[in-house]
Amino acid sequence: RGSSGALRPRAHMPGRAPQPRVVPSAAWPTLKAATCEAPSNGWEAAIVVEVLPGFSESLEHLVLDQSFEIDGPADKSAVLVVDQGITCAVPSGSVPLVLRNLTLRSAAAPALVIVGPCSIEYCDISSDVMGVQVASGSRDVPYLAKNNIHGCPVGIGFAGAVHTRLDRNVLKGNSCAVAVMGLEIREGESSPLAALAESHFAGSLKADVQLLSLGVCGAAGNLHRIGAESEVLLPEAGRPSAVALKTDRGTAILRFDGWRLRAEVVEGAEPVGFGLLTSHGRWQTEPLPGAGDRRMLERRRDFARLAAPGGQQALLVVAPEASAPASWSRREGADAGDMSPGVAEAAAADLGQWLEEALGSSPPGLRSGLEDRCVALLGVSEAISFALAQNLTPALSQPHFVLFASATGEVRVAWLAFATDQIQSGPGRGTCLVRLISEDLNGLNAEESAKAGVWMDFIASAAEETDMSQLIARSTGLFRRATDSGDWQAVLRAS
pLDDT recorded at residue 138: 58
Mean pLDDT of the region 361-372: 88
| Rounded distance between C-alpha atoms, residue 414 and residue 360, angstroms | 22
| Rounded distance between C-alpha atoms, residue 455 and residue 452, angstroms | 9
pLDDT recorded at residue 46: 83
CB 468 within 8 A of CB 437: no
Percent pLDDT > 70 in the chain is: 91
Mean pLDDT of the region 4-33: 69
pLDDT recorded at residue 427: 45
pLDDT recorded at residue 334: 54
Mean pLDDT of the region 199-225: 94
List pLDDT tens digits, range 325-354.
889 988 776 555 567 888 889 999 999 999
| Rounded distance between C-alpha atoms, residue 215 and residue 237, angstroms | 20
**Residue 142: cis peptide before it, omega within 30 degrees of 0:** no
DSSP annotation string for 420-489: --STT--TT---EEEEEEE--TTSTTHHHHHHH--EEEEEEEE-S---HHHHHHHHHHHHHHHHHH--TH
| Rounded distance between C-alpha atoms, residue 299 and residue 344, angstroms | 9
CB 168 within 8 A of CB 145: yes
| Rounded distance between C-alpha atoms, residue 132 and residue 18, angstroms | 31
pLDDT recorded at residue 5: 43
| Rounded distance between C-alpha atoms, residue 338 and residue 244, angstroms | 42
Q: Quick check: 12 pLDDT over 90?
A: no
Question: Parallel, antiparallel, or unpaired for β 260-267 and 250-257?
Answer: antiparallel
Q: Quick check: 287 pLDDT over 70?
A: yes
**Residue 364: cis peptide before it, omega within 30 degrees of 0:** yes
Query: Does an H or E element contain 108, and which?
Result: none
Comparing CA positions, the residue from 443, 449, 340, 463 lying closest to residue 397 is 463
Q: What is this structure's pTM?
A: 0.82
List pLDDT tens digits, range 374-389.
999 998 889 999 999 9
List pLDDT tens digits, range 302-331.
999 899 887 778 999 999 877 678 899 887
Percent pLDDT > 90 in the chain is: 70
| Rounded distance between C-alpha atoms, residue 241 and residue 110, angstroms | 29
pLDDT recorded at residue 189: 96
List pLDDT tens digits, range 228-271.
778 999 999 999 999 999 999 999 999 999 999 999 999 999 99
Q: Quick check: 98 pLDDT over 90?
A: yes
List pLDDT tens digits, range 126-136.
999 999 999 86
Comparing CA positions, the residue from 287, 317, 312, 266 lying closest to residue 458 is 266
DSSP annotation string for 38-103: PPSS---SPEEEEEPTT-EEEES-EEE-S-EEEE--TT---EEEETT-EEE-PPTTSPPEEEES-E
pLDDT recorded at residue 333: 62
List pLDDT tens digits, range 442-473.
999 999 999 999 999 999 998 888 899 899 98
Mean pLDDT of the region 61-89: 96
**363 or 406, higher pLDDT:** 406
Cα angle for residues 283, 288, 293 (degrees, 5° grid): 160
